[in-house]
Amino acid sequence: MHTAKKSETSKFKRAHLYYKYTGFYSFVGQSLKKAIIPILLVIVGLIVLDLYVVDFSNLFTYITETYAPLNILLVFLTSESLLGLVPPEIFIAWSDKMPQPILYLTILAALSYLGGIFSYFIGKWIFTIPRVFAYMEGTMKKHLKQIRKWGGFLIVVGALLPIPYSMTSMAAGMIHYKFSHYLLFGLLRFVRFYLYAIAIFSLV
C-alpha cells in the first residue's frame, strides 16, 4: 500500500516536472492572462448594462418567449463547433430562464461536448489540405510539437478554463490525438458548465 502511494506521488512529480520544463505552465499562464482581462471587461460591462441600460432578466425572459429553444440551441451548437464565436456564458444565462434550467443547462453542456467533437474532425480534415499541412509543418511546426507533447492535459485545460474549447479540439484533431482519450477528457466540459451556472444563475 505504501509502495503504491509512493509510486503515485513519484508519477505526479515527474508529470509536474515534465509540464514545467516543456513550457506548458507558461503557455497556460499566458493564455489565461490574455483571456482574463477581456472576461473581466465583459463581466463589468454586463453589470453596468444591467444596472443602467437594460434589465437582463427581462431580456432573457423576452428571448425565451420570442425564439424557439431549438433555434437557440442550434445557434449554440454552431458556435461551439466553429471556434466558439459566442461566449457560452450567454447561453448559460439563457438556460436559467427556461422552465427546466438544469435540463437545458445539461443540453447546452452536451451540445458543447458534441461541438467539440465536430471541431476535432474539422481539425483532422483541415490537416489534409496540402497548403494547410505545409504551413502547419513549416511555420507552426514548433507549436504543433508542443501540442503533441502536452496532449490530454491541453484538452483538460480547454474543457475547464476560459479558452475556446473548439480551438483546443481542432488542435487535438490536427495532431491525431487518440479519439477515445479525447472523448474521456472532454467530459470535463460538463463540469465547467455546472460550475459556471452556479455563479451565473445567481446573477440573472
Angle between helices 69-81 and 101-126 (to 10 degrees): 30
Question: At 96, is the secondary structure helix, strand, or coil?
Answer: coil
Whether the full predicted model's pTM is greater than 0.75, yes or no, is no
Indicate if the pLDDT at residue 82 is higher than 80. yes
pLDDT band at 109 (very low <50, low <70, confident <90, very high): very high
Mean pLDDT of 79-96: 84
Share of the chain above pLDDT 70, in %: 58
Longest Cα–Cα distance in the chain: 62
113-133 pLDDT, tens digit per residue, is 999 999 999 888 887 777 765
Long-range contacts of the stretch 76-80 (C-beta < 8 A, 24+): 76/108, 76/111, 76/112, 76/115, 77/111, 77/114, 77/115, 78/115, 79/115, 80/111, 80/112, 80/114, 80/115, 80/116, 80/119, 80/165, 80/166
- CB environment 34-59: b (16+ within 10 A), e (fewer): eeeeeeeeeeeebeeeeeeeeebeeb
Higher pLDDT, 136 or 47: 47
Indicate if the pLDDT at residue 38 is higher than 70. no
Mean pLDDT of 69-90: 85
